Structure 1
Amino acid sequence: MLHDLHRVLSTYWQQFLFVLPKLLLALVLLAVAITIANRLSRVLGTRLRSRAHDPLLADFLTGISRWALWLLGLLLAMQVIGLSGVVTGMLSAAGLSAFVVGFAFKDIAENFLAGMILAFNRPFHLNDTVQIRDQTGHVEALNLRTTVIRTFDGKHVFLPNSIVLKEPLINFTRNGDLRQDFLISVNYGPEGTYEQVRDLILTFLNGLPDLHHDSPRAPYLVLEKSTDTTADVRLYFWSSSEEYRRGALETKSEVMQKVKNLLLDKGYAPPTLAQ
């Protein structure tokens, strides 16, 4: 038994020594391929960013090219070792492999394909403010599997690309402008009229520098409910949304407070504000 064990181990050792030069050459080739892939992908990414002016698309294509070059290096290394039959079998059985891999890694494949679609035809750019489901924040990255969003409170949300592609997506900053509104209830008393309140508020809104004043984005009011002495008025106005938090949210807050102070200064009863 010991003799047979020694004979088997000797055979394996001889085979290992025979394969060792090819194995070392394959490892060197794989290392060189990885190095070249990393450098080429960096060069490609730099050129794409300078010409396409789209960092998200450039980063996504750079990641795909890096993975493709790594796979090519792995296949070449397997050829050097003598696993050409395995490589040929892998390529010839691509249909079956695609089915098995696609079934086993359905979510990964789905997110990858969704990422491909989003990279070439997507509804957002880098630093756009978007809302997907109940998540709102700035787009920071588009990876092979996930889209990264940074919320206003500093949290990073990694959303699968398939969800980003399938779910309704609201982009607050794509056009650079955003219309906002709020409701204000005014008690102008028996001596006042709704027309006086309307003209007063419109004149004030048209004097605010942070709002748009040219048609069709000039401020306007809509009377939603009225009595002899009160009026529920909804104010509509356009402002910049390139920086959503500052250009939209804070601007709306400032407009609401200024309109309220205006009515108080003119002697009207304390108005009620609502979204």
Structure 2
Amino acid sequence: MLQDLQRVLHSYWESFLYIAPKLLIALVVLSLALAVAKRFSLLLSSRLEGKAHDPLLADFLTNVAKWGMILAGVLLAMQVIGLSGVVSGVLGAAGLTAFVVGFALKDIAENFLAGMVLAFNRPFHIHDTVQIRDMLGQVEALNLRTTVIKTFEGKHIFLPNAVVLREPLINFTRNDYIRQDFLVSVDYGDQKTPDQVIDKILQYVNSTEGVESVPPYISYITLEKSAGTTADLRVYFWAKSEDYRRHVLVLKSKLMQGTKAMLIDAGYPPTTTIS
């Protein structure tokens, strides 16, 4: 029994000595593939960012190229070891493999293809404020499988790319400008007219820092309802949309409070309501 054990161990040792150089070469090939993939991805990223001016597209294409080169390195290392039959079988049965993998990993494949469409279609850029379903936040990244959105409460949402592509998407910042509005209900009295109130409100709104007044982004007011000496006025104004939550909504709040205070100071009843 000891002689049989020695023969088995000796055969294993001979097999190891035979395959050891190939294993070493395969490890070198794999290490080179990883180093080249990393170096190439950095170079490709810098080139794409310089030309495309779109970090989303650049990052996505860089990741695709990086993992493609790593996969090629793994296949080459397998051939060096002597698993060329396995590699040939995998490549030769690509149709069957694609079917099996596509069926088993349908969601992953769907999200990857959706990411490709989003990367080239570009319905948003990094730091754009978007809304998908009831989720509102800033886009932080487009990965191979998910789109990362950071809400204004500091939460990170990892949405599958297929959901982002399929669902209606509202981009609040793509146009650089966004229009907001609020309602003013005021009693203008017997001695005044709605036009006088409108002029006062417009003067105040246009003089407020952060409100845009460059055509076609001009503030205006419409009369929605009038009864006796009271009027409901809808105030529309434009603002820069780069920082939607902190700038636009805070500016709207400031205008609503300031408009009421201005009207009261101008002699209008304190019952003026802003909504």
* Structure-2-length-normalised TM-score: 0.93
1:236 match: secondary structure: strand
Pick closer, same or farther for the CA change 1:214–1:38 going to 2, 3 Å. Answer: closer
Distance 1:247 1:172 in 2: 12
Contact 1:181 1:235 in 2 (8 A): yes
1:136 match: secondary structure: strand
Structure 2 counterpart of 1:204: 204
State the Cα RMSD in Å: 1.8
What are the residue-to-residue correspondences of 1:242-261 with 2, within 5 Å? 242-261=242-261
Distance 2:3 2:269 in 1: 107
Structure 1 counterpart of 2:42: 42
Structure 1 counterpart of 2:138: 138
Provide Cα deviations, 1:104-129, integer angstroms capped at 9, x if missing partner.
11111111111111111121111111
Runs of 4+ in structure 1 off by over 6 angstroms are: none
Provide Cα deviations, 1:221-250, integer angstroms capped at 9, x if missing partner.
122222102111111111111222343111
Structure 1 counterpart of 2:113: 113
2:174 match: secondary structure: coil
Distance 2:117 2:218 in 1: 37
Matched, 1:26 2:56: no
Distance 2:79 2:149 in 1: 42
Provide Cα deviations, 1:13-51, integer angstroms capped at 9, x if missing partner.
432332222112111211111111111111111121122
Matched, 1:273 2:267: no
Distance 1:245 1:80 in 2: 56
1:200 match: secondary structure: helix
Matched, 1:148 2:148: yes
What are the residue-to-residue correspondences of 1:5-84 with 2, within 5 Å? 7-84=7-84
* Structure-1-length-normalised TM-score: 0.93
Q: Which moved more, 1:62-71 or 1:27-36?
A: 27-36
Structure 1 counterpart of 2:125: 125
Aligned-pair CA distance for 1:4: 5.4
Distance 2:155 2:250 in 1: 20
Distance 1:163 1:144 in 2: 13
1:206 match: secondary structure: helix
Contact 1:190 1:228 in 2 (8 A): no
2:15 match: secondary structure: helix
Distance 2:194 2:78 in 1: 83
Distance 1:184 1:96 in 2: 67
Distance 2:193 2:244 in 1: 36
Distance 2:209 2:58 in 1: 37
Contact 1:220 1:235 in 2 (8 A): yes
Provide Cα deviations, 1:162-215, integer angstroms capped at 9, x if missing partner.
111111111111111001111121122344332222222123223334222244
Unaligned runs of 5+ in 1: none
Structure 2 counterpart of 1:232: 232
Distance 1:73 1:163 in 2: 33
Distance 2:216 2:120 in 1: 32
The aligned length equals 274
Unaligned runs of 5+ in 2: none
Q: Which moved more, 1:198-207 or 1:249-258?
A: 198-207
Matched, 1:223 2:223: yes
2:207 match: secondary structure: coil
Percent identity (aligned) = 62
Distance 2:109 2:192 in 1: 66
2:211 match: secondary structure: coil
